[in-house]
Amino acid sequence: MDRIAVLIPCFNEERTIRKVVTDFKKTLPDAAVYVYDNNSNDRTAAVARDAGAIVRKETLQGKGNVIRRMFREVDAECYIMADGDDTYPAEAAIEMVKRVLEDQADMVVGDRLSSTYFDENKRHFHNFGNALVRKSINKLFKSNIRDIMTGYRAFSYQFVKTFPVLSKGFEIETEMSIHAIDKNMNVANVVVEYRDRPDGSSSKLNTFSDGAKVIRTIVSLFETYKPRAFFSGIALVLFLLAAVFFIPIFINYRKTGLVPNFPTLIVCGFTVIAGLQSFFSGIILHTLRKKDRQDFEKDLIRCQERYTELTKRNERN
């Protein structure tokens, strides 16, 4: 078990990976630096190995798949996750590690948005998307995470070993944030400087397609983690639609005693039934979510026992 493990997922980062590895080894000399190559078609793996990193490979394409592999294979008291594009300063890791090891934070968010991100990042739609996602999630989940989509984070052993990775791509950061909020984990924010990619290094993100994936992920996770609110919202929309079409029919019936639009009345009835089904589905799923939270707490206790066992073994060695 490592004391500190630096995890760097990489895809075609030959231009910057040497500096990233060197900076982290200098800043955290006792840390193990892992570079996971995700089918790069350049010399990323060779350069990282030459710089002193432990290089491993993940053949399933996508950042989420790489992080799943990392979290399964690496045991450490504190994890630092960073990108291989040299956009984050390694020096900030010292404070992030301190928050995990001394302050018992489960996840530390490297907050770019409160520093230089909007000045350094020249992709304006990315800037807008990051701000929108932050406001949406903090509003929906009643949280205060200052940078939802940052790739620079620190984690505790308990977070890494109990986090179910479902996303395959860049939406993984959003999933991490919502998981930490939902499970009432200790989340800290550390402001970090952000610098844009150096010349010759290109982003793998597509503003629109990856942005659409993130939005779908938010909706899906809101349905999963907040089923009562999600399905009650659908039920409310259905009830309002039924009311809009039913009220004119009812007024006409009070005046004339006739129902000229009988098919519309039938549709209104089925719409109300669908709304009731949606409402009670949300109640049932909310009850199941409470049971899931109880099971998670039990898993957390078992994870803590495993962590204690590993740290004692480290001390003996």
- Shared-domain flag, residues 116 and 254: no
Phi, psi at 176, each rounded to 5°: -60, -45
- Shared-domain flag, residues 162 and 18: yes
pLDDT (0 to 100) of residue 231:
96
> Of 178, 201, 224, which closes a domain?
224
Look up the pTM and report it.
0.82
Which helix (H) or strand (E) element contains residue 32? strand 32-37
The boundaries of the domain holding residue 240 are 227-316
pLDDT (0 to 100) of residue 122:
61
Give ∠ CA 20-21-24 in degrees, rounded to 5: 85
pLDDT (0 to 100) of residue 203:
60
pLDDT exceeds cutoff 80 at 125:
no
> Of 224, 248, 277, which closes a domain?
224
- Shared-domain flag, residues 204 and 293: no
Q: Mean pLDDT over residues 82-92, rounded?
A: 93
> Of 196, 224, 252, which closes a domain?
224
- Shared-domain flag, residues 19 and 31: yes
- Shared-domain flag, residues 153 and 18: yes
pLDDT (0 to 100) of residue 224:
87
3-state class (DSSP) for residue 221: helix
Please return the burial class of 138, using the count of CB atoms within 10 Å of its CB with bins 0-12, 13-18 and 19+.
middle
Q: Mean pLDDT over residues 90-102, rounded?
A: 96
- Shared-domain flag, residues 236 and 175: no
- Shared-domain flag, residues 220 and 232: no
| Domain count within the chain | 2
Query: Residue 82 corresponds to which amino acid?
Result: A
Share of the chain above pLDDT 90, in %: 62
- Shared-domain flag, residues 303 and 268: yes
Phi, psi at 108, each rounded to 5°: -115, 125
